[in-house]
Amino acid sequence: MATEDSSAREQRARLLETYFVGRRDIYAVQNEMGEYTATRRPLSPELLLAHCKGQRTIATYPANDIGNTPFAIIDIDRKDAPAEEFALFVKRWLAHFRVPAFIEFSGRKGYHIWVIFKCWVPAAKATRLLSIAIRQHEAELGEPGFQLEPPFPRQPRTTIEHPGNSVKLPWGVHQVSGNFAYFVDDDFLPLPDWGVQAISQAQRVTEADLDAILAEFPEVEPAPAPPSRKQQLPCFGAMMEGVGEGVRHIASLRLACHLYRQGMPETLALSTLLEWDHNYNKPPLGAKRIERNVSDAYTGKYKLGCADIEAAGFCDTECPIYRKRYLESDQRVEAAATTVALQELIKLSSHPPTYRAVIDGYQVELETDDLLRLTRFQKKVAEILNFIPNLGMTQKQWLAMVDEKLRLVVCESAPADAADRAEVVELILDWLESAPKAEAAEDVEAGRPVERESTWYFRAKDAVSYLRAKHQIVVKPAALWSVIRDTGGDTTSVRVGRKSFSLWALPKREAEAAEAPEEEEHLEF
């Protein structure tokens, strides 16, 4: 895109705030790996302007807590001739009903089809409209089209605790590719003004307009399914009434397995269990754990898991498959304890020594007594990970497994404790002051810090590598971040050349900051 003045970016930021932002009380920020982190704060106009400048990449959560949305989207995760033909079909089909649609290049590998209603409409009706458009395209082809994820919003009603799936806002930089997203014309060339004029002049689409269109495509009510043995399992109903601490992990995983076996779509299973966790579990397990368990269950490698369900106390002798319950135990549950509960053991050279155990993919810090006594180990894991490992194992079996792991234990230096926090910050500042400074994107990628006014900017992995190589201090990024944060540090997106980097920020030493010359306000090169 050609160089432009600030007023054009400000105009795009105002359009985003007016027509493209869903929930106002939460937003997400994309990092350089393409991942999004939710930020439960109001989305400000300043952040939207930073998004349009390429300094931050912001995603919005489409549906609000009463189930309304200002837009709907079809995500096409490819950029080829069939994808472009499909996008043009949807755009023209919607235009027949006077519904404006806009095709956006995502900035990386595909297209988004945006329908901006210019008012709030029920999310369920908005996504149903786009689902009809997809089916119409398949009908024209005479065969199923290429695979698409359900349109956005994928959750018809959300809360700030469970906001659903986020959508990257238009006109921002994709942090993986470094490319701006932009709207295109029917030849898939960038619109000269980024699409601002076309969007500004687009017709407003109301709920009444949607109702008139949807009335032409009535939904066919599916015939009620006959009662099945799967639907009558008493454990399912018992767990759906809510569970407490210690069994939430097991219950959510096994409920997800049950929904998978019933043929429920994964997105619907996720929204069902998120609502179950929020409304019935006390306290809730949390969205991240629920999402992981649903994802695991929908790999198809798990059975119903009667062994887990029975151990958690939800098995019923009146169950129609009670006598066959041993056949409903997946291989993972029946595997040896060494592959289930204690995958790796790392000894930290602290005083007294502590251990970092990898348990079911998670890391847990253990004292010596936690490691050697099974009941203490189970209590520690249940408090942190919300499930009880190695149910049914004896103390003797546990010690035999620990002994085997100790013979192969990996030793690491302990991370800096509270007494060393100031020293670690001073060492990092020594590195920042003495290292060559970044002047181009290649310098940042080579591990050089960025210097600005009273602040240093640097990548986490470069600080970790420096402490390990120069001072033999081994510290995980998460532990180091707590030190940086407590010292007044922060994170921000800095654009260097044509690339944006997610960097940590650390204030300079006071004397040095006072001598630093004034520089321009924005973090741009």
CA-angle at 304, arms to 303 and 305, nearest 5°: 90
Residue 361 pLDDT > 70, yes or no?
no
Distances (CA, A) of 495 to 13, 245, 458, 484, 503: 18, 44, 12, 21, 10
Strand 102-105 relative to strand 111-122, pairing:
antiparallel
- Do residues 327 and 335 make contact, with C-beta atoms less than 8 angstroms apart? no
pTM of the model: 0.47
Regarding predicted confidence, which is higher, 373 or 307? 373
Q: What is the pLDDT of residues 130-145, one digit of tens each?
A: 999 998 998 887 766 6
What's the CA gap between 52 and 63, in Å, rounded?
22
- Do residues 29 and 499 make contact, with C-beta atoms less than 8 angstroms apart? no
Mean pLDDT, range 8-25, rounded to an integer: 93
- The full set of domain ranges for the chain reads 6-214, 230-334, 337-412, 418-515
- 523 Ramachandran zone, left/alpha/beta (phi>0; psi -120 to 50): beta
Q: Give the relative orientation of helices 45-53 and 6-15 as an angle to the nearest 10 degrees.
A: 120
Query: Across 182-303, where does the E strand assignment appear?
Result: 182-184
Q: Helices (H), strands (E): how many in the chain?
A: 21, 16
Q: Return the pLDDT at 33.
A: 83
Beta bridge partners of 457: 450, 505
Let me know if 3 is exposed, middle or buried by CB neighbors in 10 A (0-12, 13-18, 19+).
Answer: exposed
Q: What is the pLDDT of residues 145-178, one digit of tens each?
A: 666 788 999 887 777 778 888 999 999 999 988 9
Q: Which residues in 154-163 are b (16+ Cβ under 10 Å) and which e?
A: bbbbbbeebb
What's the CA gap between 459 and 501, in Å, rounded?
8
Residue 205: in which H helix or E strand, if any?
Answer: none
Cβ-based neighbour number of residue 478 at 10 Å? 10
Residue 336 pLDDT > 60, yes or no?
no
Residue 389 pLDDT > 90, yes or no?
no
Q: Which of 271, 401, 394, 269 has its CA nearest to residue 342?
A: 401
Mean pLDDT, range 466-481, rounded to an integer: 77
Q: Return the pLDDT at 96.
A: 94
Beta bridge partners of 186: none
Q: What is the pLDDT of residues 224-255, one digit of tens each?
A: 444 444 445 888 888 888 888 778 888 898 89
**Torsion angle defined by CA atoms of residues 11, 13, 16 and 19, in that order, rounded to the nearest 10 degrees:** -40
Q: Return the pLDDT at 333.
A: 40
Own/partner pairs, 129-135, CB within 8 angstroms, 24+ separation: 129/72, 129/94, 129/99, 129/210, 129/213, 129/214, 130/72, 130/73, 130/74, 130/90, 132/214, 132/217, 133/74, 133/89, 133/90, 133/93, 133/94, 134/74, 134/90
What's the CA gap between 111 and 79, in Å, rounded?
7
- Do residues 372 and 393 make contact, with C-beta atoms less than 8 angstroms apart? no
Block residue for tokens 């060339």: 189
- 82-96, 291-305, 319-333: which range is least confident on average? 319-333
In this structure, which topology does domain 6-214 adopt according to CATH?
A: DNA primase, PRIM domain (3.90.920)
Q: What is the pLDDT of residues 440-461, one digit of tens each?
A: 888 888 899 999 888 999 998 8
